[in-house]
Each structure stands twice: as structure tokens, then as C-alpha cells.
Structure 1
């Protein structure tokens, strides 16, 4: 199966276990992998034969900006479900990255989930 990768979707959100994360917020970044058949688009050169990812980017940003959950796992599941609901994809991979405010830690954490399209 073919894949379409969308990297570096960024938005500011208020997700976190700690009260200051829910008040002050922080930046989140999302990388997506979308599984679909790209052959029809490759042969026809027509946008309607593939997935128009430009419509998904603002949706993901909106979910980050408006979700009020504690866990990044919950946000990743929400993003995956929304994308699968809106698009004809075989499956989606969501990698959600944040840089938590933890003393003496300058790194990032990432949640990486892959979800198949449910049976209709």
C-alpha cells in the first residue's frame, strides 16, 4: 500500500496533566502517515483521485488548539479518529510530539499510534 506523509503540523494547545500545562499551554507537532492507493492520482494527475491533505492540516491544528484533555495519547486518538472519519484511507499513523516542561530535561516526548479504518 502507498503512503502519503505530512510532517511538521504545529499548533499551540492546552493538553497536559499538570495545571500549568492546561493554563499556559505549549507547542505540539504532528507527523502523519496516510495509507491509500496513489496509483489513480499518479496516472491521472488529478487531485480528486488522491487525498487533498491541505484540508487536513487546519483540522489537526484545530483539534490541538481546542482539545482539553490530559493525555497526549487521548489527543493522538482524537486526531486519528477524525482523519479516518473524513477520508477514504486504509489506515493512519499519528506521531504527536511535545516538549514537556520538566526540570533538567531538554528533550521531547512522542506518542506514535497507527489505526486502521474500521469496517463500515
Structure 2
């Protein structure tokens, strides 16, 4: 793994959304629940020393960006849903250096007694 996934991070877990992503027609028609876990690599020394939100990133703003990216485009694959969210995060928050995202689909249309289908992407901001 890259050395870029170290240091300070903002962690948001179990962000729940209802969406229509999936390969099968019934998924597009009926929809289902999805859960997203995020880790954002960002220097938190500013808010840690000043105790001022203005020196950091609002968790509510992160949620809004994720929600918008999740709901804007219907995707067939969880990997594409996750990449769309990562791209939106990098665009909205210039101080985020890397993102680890897990998209979970607990009601995937496959035979599971218990559990969920999920993917996880690790992405670093591309430098020009």
C-alpha cells in the first residue's frame, strides 16, 4: 500500500442512503439501502490547535457532497458509485489528500444467509 494513507483522517461510518444502483432491472425499479464508510486523509492540526471549525472541514459538508454524488447518477456497479463519490470529494475539498471508501449493499440480490456485498477503494489525489 502507498505511504500516502497515513496520518490524520476524518472517519465517517454507516452513512445510509436509499438508491437505485445495480445491474438488475428490479434494483433500478425498487431500489435498496446502501451504507458508506469513509476515511479522508487531511491535516487536522489546524482544527486540533484552534478549536475552530473554520480551520477544518465540516462533517455535514462531507455528508452533503457524498449524498449528492450518490444520488446524481445511477450506476450499475458499486465500484463506479464509489469512484463517483471519491471524485466529488476531491473536487469539493482541496485539502483532502486521500480517500478510503467502502460501499456496502446489505440486500444484494445474491444468495446470502447473512452478510452483505461490499467494495472498498483506496485513492490518492492525483498531482499535476
Tell me if TM exceeds 0.5.
yes
Separation in 1 of the partners of 2:29 and 2:45? 46
Q: In structure 1, the residue corresponding to 2:81 is in which secondary structure?
A: helix
Q: Offset of 1:51 from its aligned partner?
A: 1.3
Separation in 1 of the partners of 2:9 and 2:112? 38
Structure 2 residue 117 is the aligned partner of structure 1 residue 101 = no
Q: 2:96 aligns with which of 85, 89, 94?
A: 89
Gaps of 5+ in 2: 1-6
Q: How many correspondences in the alignment?
A: 120
Query: Deviations for 1:5-60, whole angstroms, at most 9, x for unmatched residues?
Result: 01111111110011111111111110100111111111111111111121121221
- After superposing on structure 2, the runs of 4+ consecutive aligned residues of structure 1 that deviate more than 6 Å are none
Structure 2 residue 81 is the aligned partner of structure 1 residue 39 = no
Structure 2 residue 8 is the aligned partner of structure 1 residue 2 = yes
How do 1:1-120 and structure 2 match up within 5 A? 1-87=7-93, 88-99=95-106, 100-120=108-128
Q: Which moved more, 1:56-65 or 1:15-24?
A: 56-65
Q: Offset of 1:119 from its aligned partner?
A: 1.1
Task: State the TM-score, normalizing by the size of structure 2.
Answer: 0.87
Q: In structure 1, the residue corresponding to 2:54 is in which secondary structure?
A: helix
Q: Offset of 1:104 from its aligned partner?
A: 4.6
Separation in 1 of the partners of 2:112 and 2:14? 25
Q: Are the counterparts in 2 of residues 73 and 111 from structure 1 also a CA contact under 8 Å?
A: yes
Gaps of 5+ in 1: none
